Amino acid sequence: MVEKNKHLVNATLTDWIAVAAGATGALMATLDISITNSALPQIQGAIGATGTEGTWISTGYMMSEIVMIPMVAWLTRLLGLRNLLVINASLFIFFSFLCGMSTSLPMLIAARVGQGLSGGAMIPTAQSIVRTRLPLHQLPTGMTAFGLTVIMGPLLGPVVGGWLTENASWSWCFFINGPICLVMLLMLMWGLPSEPIRPNAFIGTDWIGISGLALGLSSLIAFLEEGQRLNWFESTLICWLFLFSLAGAGLILLSQKYARQPILRLSLLNNRHFSSVIIIIFTTGIVMYGIAYLVPQFLSQVAGYNAEQSGQILLLAGIPALLLMPVLPRLVTKIDSKLIIIPGLLLFAVSCLLDTGLTSQSTGENFIFSQLVRGFAQMLCMMPLNQAAMAAVSKEESGDAAGLYNMARNLGGAVGLAFIGTFLDRRQLLHNALLRQSVHASSSVVQSHMNTLSAAWGNNESAETKAMAHLAGQISKQSLVISYNETYLLLMVFMLLCVPLAFLLRRR
């Protein structure tokens, strides 16, 4: 590729094959974050895991993926891009088959950790391929394709997982990676040039930073995932995880001072434009992954939807992505990115506002409009943010920048899920108590309601017990709905707080 006049040259077929291979890898890596969500009951039954233990099937994958992402730039320097991706794609296939053949919870968690480590490398490398293989005038198209995979992966996961579980078996949630990744391997071999392994990259390797990443991030994710269930600092395990997180953070900070080439280049955050992107994408990760959790949870708990039905509602957000795909790359080249990102953030806030009026009678139909608005918001945010992140750094820094960018998004998702779970539980307990206080047995309205229910069940002692249980269930359901509305309101505030930061982004 030509450097100085690269913007005058169109990408070759080989370049586009490399981009397609990278995008496919990123899609599979993000898809596997959520593909097990709809299959968890069947998986837990097959391997004899409880509901609480089953959460580690997803946590193990996300934890290892987040740890791997910032290490990709160093591994690329050591192995070369093609070697790294071929090795990781092969390992991803291997661990996917191990997941599908697992017969116990420890075996499945170990396989999911391996799958996350190999899959984590596919996300930032996809972004780097776009940055290094496409000319400047075609970068928006490549970044749009990459951003589309990041958006569609979590949306498709529950739908694909639910369909495969219903029509084949839960094992196919993992086996499906095999044929797709084999095609990706062929594209990688064709699209990327062979590079020699550079053993000298081991010299001066930031082992302190690598240790800090592995210890700190894995402990942090486990701390966030298990904190609410174990009552946070009332648990000895949670206290130790918190201390390990701090120790990991300390090692990472030490590496910034003493390592010749830190594994995590936090110095990039001194760049005002890049740090603004990181804060925005971290917050967007909180909201994006949070909503992907809230919508199916509400539809399951309140409307009685199954996983596949909930997934179909989530998938509505993908329709605007398909509509904007042909238009957005041209738009990004003609308009300053902040003029696209700011409306995207505002639309994200509006989509959350639309979901603050939910009732106990709400169904999937009530989410159709908000999901469509959210789909437009995601495209307007994610695509230009991808480009803004890469535009804020030099080509030589793009690998490290891609690692930080993708780690921030996924870490935001992990933090968001933990925070939202805790917030929902605490608010539901509060509203349940307040509603119970407001319902007095002496109230004529309550007595009339109880008499009506008792009459419907036969006006006997059993009927009165059923009426009391029904009233308690109604109170619990109403407190849950109020808590969901408050959570959406909070997510709206998060998105609005990002708008001033968008004004700091570098002009195109």
pLDDT digits (tens, 9 = 90+) for 126-181: 888 888 888 888 887 887 777 778 778 877 887 888 788 878 888 999 999 999 99
- The residue out of 184, 205, 226 marking a domain boundary is 205
- The residue out of 215, 233, 262 marking a domain boundary is 262
Distance of CA 80 to the CA centre of its chain: 27
Instruction: Specify the pLDDT at position 287.
Output: 92
- The Cα 48–Cα 382 span in angstroms is 39
Phi, psi angle pair for 264, to nearest 5°: -120, 105
Assign 446 a pLDDT band (cuts: 50, 70, 90). Answer: low
Question: Between residues 453 and 338, which one has the greater pLDDT?
Answer: 338
Question: Are 149 and 23 a contacting pair, CB within 8 Å?
Answer: yes
- The Cα 488–Cα 467 span in angstroms is 32
Q: What's the whole-number average pLDDT of the chain?
A: 84
504 shares a domain with 359: yes
CATH number at residue 38: 1.20.1250.20
Does position 185 have pLDDT exceeding 90, yes or no? yes
125 shares a domain with 232: no
Centre a 10 Å sphere on the Cβ of residue 328 and count the other Cβ atoms it contains: 23
Look up residue 69 and give its amino acid: I
Instruction: Specify the pLDDT at position 5.
Output: 46
Average pLDDT in the 39-55 region? 75
Model confidence, pTM: 0.82
449 shares a domain with 439: yes
- The residue out of 239, 262, 285 marking a domain boundary is 262
Total of domains in the chain: 3
> How far is the CA of 60 from the CAs of 117, 125, 193, in angstroms?
10, 21, 33
Using one digit for the tens of pLDDT, what is the confidence trace for 216-268? Answer: 988 988 888 788 778 888 899 999 999 999 999 999 999 988 888 888 888 89
Each residue of 438-471: b (16+ CB within 10 Å) or e? eeeeeeeeeeebbeebbeeeeeeeebbebbeebb
Q: Which range is least confidently modeled, 79-93, 103-117, 192-206, 275-289?
A: 192-206
Does position 469 have pLDDT exceeding 90, yes or no? no
Using one digit for the tens of pLDDT, what is the confidence trace for 54-97? Answer: 677 877 888 888 888 888 888 888 888 899 999 999 999 999 99
295 shares a domain with 258: no
Structural domain boundaries, residue 213 = 206-262
Instruction: Specify the pLDDT at position 449.
Output: 57
235 shares a domain with 185: no
390 shares a domain with 275: yes
- The Cα 297–Cα 424 span in angstroms is 11
194 shares a domain with 80: yes
Question: Are 375 and 319 a contacting pair, CB within 8 Å?
Answer: yes
Using one digit for the tens of pLDDT, what is the confidence trace for 390-430? Answer: 788 887 787 788 888 888 988 888 888 778 888 888 888 89
Q: Return the top range by mean pLDDT from 378-387, 443-452, 480-489.
A: 480-489
220 shares a domain with 97: no
Using one digit for the tens of pLDDT, what is the confidence trace for 7-34? Answer: 468 888 899 999 999 999 999 988 888 7
DSSP 259-316: -SS-SS-GGGGGSHHHHHHHHHHHHHHHHHHHHHHHHHHHHHHTS---HHHHHHHHHT
506 shares a domain with 371: yes
Instruction: Specify the pLDDT at position 352.
Output: 96
340 shares a domain with 210: no
358 shares a domain with 225: no
324 shares a domain with 247: no
